[in-house]
Structure 1
Amino acid sequence: MSLIEVKDLERTFTVRAKGPGRRRTTREVRAVHDLSFAVEAGEMVGYIGPNGAGKSTTIKMLTGILVPTSGHLRVSGLEPSRHRTELARRIGVVFGQRTTLWWDLPLRDSFELLRKIYRVPEDRHRRNLGEYLELLDLGDLLDTPVRQLSLGQRMRGDIVAALLHDPEILYLDEPTIGLDVVSKGRLREFLRTLNVERGTTLLLTTHDLQDIEALCRRVIVIDHGTAVFDGDLAGLHREGGSTRTLVVDLVDEAPPISVPGAQVRRIEGPRQWLSFATDASAAPIVAAVAASYDVADLSIQEPDIEDVIRDLYSR
């Protein structure tokens, strides 16, 4: 049995609006429909889509906040909406634009309150807290009120708060929003370590596609409430028809380079751009260019995942 099982999931909302005169009209909005996927223990999955695609609605159903209109949904063998209390002990949730910490209390007190809420044994709490504080560099901030923390510090505090009870699954909704480059790098490295050393399953929703490239081996793309892609990053690039690029700087200007497996897309003086398939090896192309042309320098440009996703959304 998969850790997360979603099959033919649907969630509709009734929207009321003012009509002509004093009359009110109602209409049904399908936020999620015909959605199916499964997540195995230990996976790191990116769950992405445009605004209004149904991402947040899905997360709310997975955590038990919302009840599905129809379909099959199990998390850790439990039906989330019927076993919210039991499930809460097995999951952690971090919302980038909200905090689970107490605003006027020091970090230390927030963590202690959460220990009591989740009934975590003191020794386990102390061990987990010490490890996470070290990994996320928060040890010097334990006595600082949450309201005085920077956004990056508060986000790291929320991550610690979500993990102190050893959840099997961590849901992350925009965890790096508003963070600087250094804070993003530190948080990504921590999440990789968490997945490798503790086997925690991560489901990540974000508009920062660099998070996806840095962390996730698998991507689920949702649009209009249903999955339009489910696979690895290489498959996503193939779906989008993206290509890799070999940039060749020749010693002197020359006619378009002709080698098997690549095609010249652009020429500027002695520099030429050759495109080739994302799943093809660059080695034979580089060897063929070096054997037949006088090369000053060369480099490989990987396809931009944002362009791939943008094209997928537009279709």
Structure 2
Amino acid sequence: MSDAVIETDCLTRKFAVRGKGRKVVTRTTMCAVDNLQLRVSPGESVGYIGANGAGKSTTIKMLVGILVPTSGTVRTCGLDPHRQRRQLAARVGVVFGQRSQLWWDLPVRESFEILAAIHRLPAADASARTAELTEQLELGDFVATPVRQLSLGQRMRAEVAAALLHRPRLVILDEPTIGLDVLSKQRLREFLVTERLSHGTTLLLTTHDMGDIERLCERVLVVDHGSTVYDGSLNGLAQTAGSDRILVLDFVEATTDLTGIPHTKHLGSEVGGARQRLSFDSENTTAAMVLAAVGERAELRDLTIEEPDIEDVVRRIYQARR
């Protein structure tokens, strides 16, 4: 038996779409997920990204048993999600950025008590776990406050605590930091990193916030029209798209534009030429080679290397595919 936390084989989901012409009603079929092959091992942290309509939410709904596949198979935590939804609920925690699993008019603490009862946690375990999550997510100031009175940042931290209350093997996060300020995002990211390292929790994250992917995920899956177009590391994602890296160069004194350096493109100058930006293709040259050529023409004071923006990388992959 496979020990994978998530495993799919030719997973496909199609929807019938009705359209209305001038005289007749038409019916077409849309394929939201197309022969998806996916395997996530215990303890992995995977970013599942793509444009709106790429099939991410449909995949999640099949993983947790809300939707039944049109064809193919899916196993989540070793279970058939649709046929064994109750057993699966004890092993999976889900956070949707736009939906709440907390009771709107109840204090946060009482929502936790209800969820603990639903999961049939022993009273001592529920109390200890609530105290642990309250401390780590800094919920103490508002755990007695009704959910409807919380700020968005406070509510999202409470949502994550609710999803993790029963120590699930798999946590699925769908846009967990949407609308949060910088400080709230940082707190949530730090907690998720710690939780995963401490308990071996498997993480599947869908988001449009590339900062979440960079800080939380070791592996990235990019989907387009329901099919996987990339599966690998963040660095490999940039290399696949052929994106350039950027050198920000600060010179001791103003310098003429550094054009003509092999395998580079001059992007611009600031402060009269004392700061310049060069892009270079890491497949054809290295930062060291570029710097050696730059050093022959001007004296460097400092430098920074900027990695390609992930949203731009994904956009390049889509464009190349189409």
Q: Is TM (by shorter chain) over 0.5?
A: yes
Give the conservation status (yes or no) of the 8 Å contact 2:20–2:26.
Answer: yes
Instruction: Spell out, residue by residue over 1:220-276, the C-alpha distance to the aligned partner (whole angstroms, 9 max, x if none).
Output: 01111111111100111011111222222332424637777x524235334433333
The question of 1:275 aligning with 2:276 is answered no
* Equivalent in the alignment of 1:12: 14
Instruction: Spell out, residue by residue over 1:286-307, the C-alpha distance to the aligned partner (whole angstroms, 9 max, x if none).
Output: 4664476322332222221121
Segment drifting more, 265-274 vs 180-189: 265-274
| CA–CA separation in structure 1 for the residues paired with 2:220 and 2:139 | 31
The question of 1:199 aligning with 2:204 is answered no
Give the TM-score of the pair, scaled to structure 1.
0.92
| CA–CA separation in structure 1 for the residues paired with 2:267 and 2:52 | 35
Give the conservation status (yes or no) of the 8 Å contact 1:234–1:278.
Answer: no
| CA–CA separation in structure 1 for the residues paired with 2:296 and 2:198 | 45
Give the TM-score of the pair, scaled to structure 2.
0.90
Give the conservation status (yes or no) of the 8 Å contact 2:257–2:266.
Answer: no
Instruction: State the identity %.
Output: 55
* Equivalent in the alignment of 2:152: 151
Is the partner of 2:109 in helix, strand or coil? Answer: helix
Going from structure 1 to structure 2, the CA distance change for 1:88 and 1:267 (only over 3 Å counts) comes to closer
* Equivalent in the alignment of 1:235: 236
Structure 1: 5+ residue stretches without partners: none
Going from structure 1 to structure 2, the CA distance change for 1:14 and 1:255 (only over 3 Å counts) comes to closer
| CA–CA separation in structure 1 for the residues paired with 2:257 and 2:145 | 65
Give the conservation status (yes or no) of the 8 Å contact 2:247–2:303.
Answer: yes
Instruction: Spell out, residue by residue over 1:42-89, the C-alpha distance to the aligned partner (whole angstroms, 9 max, x if none).
Output: 011000111111110000000001000111211111111111000110
The code of the aligned residue for 1:18 comes to K
Instruction: Spell out, residue by residue over 1:145-165, the C-alpha distance to the aligned partner (whole angstroms, 9 max, x if none).
Output: 111111111111110111111
Give the conservation status (yes or no) of the 8 Å contact 1:237–1:278.
Answer: no
* Equivalent in the alignment of 2:305: 300
* Equivalent in the alignment of 1:164: 165
Is the partner of 1:64 in helix, strand or coil? Answer: coil
Paired positions, count: 313
Give the conservation status (yes or no) of the 8 Å contact 2:102–2:111.
Answer: yes
| CA–CA separation in structure 2 for the residues paired with 1:207 and 1:254 | 39
| CA–CA separation in structure 2 for the residues paired with 1:266 and 1:202 | 38
Is the partner of 2:141 in helix, strand or coil? Answer: helix
| CA–CA separation in structure 1 for the residues paired with 2:165 and 2:20 | 47
Give the conservation status (yes or no) of the 8 Å contact 1:4–1:76.
Answer: yes
| CA–CA separation in structure 1 for the residues paired with 2:14 and 2:257 | 59
C-alpha displacement at 1:16, in angstroms? Answer: 2.6
Give the conservation status (yes or no) of the 8 Å contact 1:240–1:311.
Answer: yes
| CA–CA separation in structure 1 for the residues paired with 2:52 and 2:65 | 22
Going from structure 1 to structure 2, the CA distance change for 1:109 and 1:276 (only over 3 Å counts) comes to same
